Amino acid sequence: MAEEKKEEQAKIDTNKQEKLKDKIESQNKDDQVKQLEPAELRKELSNKNSDYVFRLQKELELQGKLSQAEAASKVDEILPQLVVAQHHGQPASTYYNMAPKLKAADMLKPKVRTAADIPFWQYAVDSALLYIAIFVGLFGVIALFQTNQKASAQSSQMGILTLLVVGAMMGVFMTKYNEWVIPAQTGNKKIPWTKLILGMVAMLAILFVLIWVLSIPALRVINPVLSGFANIIVAAVAYGLRWLFRRHYQIIGSVFTPTVKSK
């Protein structure tokens, strides 16, 4: 009885190993397919899928008023997933569950950008420009309320270069901070509080060092204290650049209202 159980268990283990081996081999084949050139992928298509691709490309040309090369380029983008699905027994019509005409219409729809599509550097630049506009604008408003230009310069010990650097660094730091405390934005795990505190301390230390270095009298030539009106102009320019940047890259959310990225 014990020997029969051992033999049965051995068969089960063997079956599991074979299934795992088949799964790994299948994954390796799928990975190899993704590395093929479009011309090679087209050769891999079955007759049924070749006909689907041919009609899809014609629909793209007709509906989207695309050239033959542009339509072919769009089709090339989906060839890897189509061939992988074919290897798993799914023809294009089943995999997409759409006729070529409907699939073409779907491919031609303008894609709505989500938070998941926005890389860190774009959020960082957006935040940096916003903080620059806030910092420089705030110092400009304060300077305007001073009784005279001399008092304004004395009360504002930060030159324009200091304000620009500090604002930019704060924007980058706060963008990173949002990633730490809102891990759903990047799919990362929430970092421990100890690391979060150490990270913030390191950020503040870097800021203090930058402020100290830029306050050296020898750098006053490239780091002058501007008048209140001049600071407000710089702040307006920074905000204008931010508006253009956000419009160009279709940024959604901000450092103050972070948008959670869907997984």
DSSP notation for 59-119? HHHHHH---HHHHHHHHHHHHHHHHHHHHTT--HHHHH-S-HHHHHHHHHSPPPP-GGGS-
pLDDT of residue 203: 83
Instruction: Among 108, 135, 169, identify where a domain stops.
Output: 108
Structure tokens at 98: 């759409």
106-162 tens-digit pLDDT: 888 866 666 667 888 999 999 999 999 999 999 889 888 875 555 544 444 688 999
- Asked whether residue 65 falls in the same domain as residue 40, the answer is yes
pLDDT of 222 > 50? The answer is: yes
Chain CA centroid to CA 205, Å:
28
How many domains in the chain?
2
Distance, CA of 154 to CA of 2 (rounded, Å): 92
Looking at the domain assignment, is residue 168 inside a domain?
yes
Whether 1 is covered by a domain: the verdict is no
Domain stops at, among 85, 108, 131? 108
For residues 125 and 163, membership in a common domain is answered with yes
Q: Give me the count of residues in the chain.
A: 263
Same domain, 64 and 129: no
Last residue of a domain, one of 108, 142, 164: 108
Are 75 and 122 part of one and the same domain? no
Considering the domain boundaries, does residue 73 fall inside one?
yes
Q: Identify whether residues 223 and 138 lie together within a single domain.
A: yes
DSSP-assigned letter for residue 184: G
The whole domain housing 165 covers 115-249
How many other β-carbons are positioned within 10 Å of the β-carbon of residue 133? 23
Whether the predicted pLDDT of 10 surpasses 90? no
pTM of the predicted model as reported, rounded to 2 decimal places: 0.58
40 shares a domain with 159: no
Cβ atoms of 259 and 112 within 8 Å: the answer is no
Q: What is the pLDDT of residue 263?
A: 43
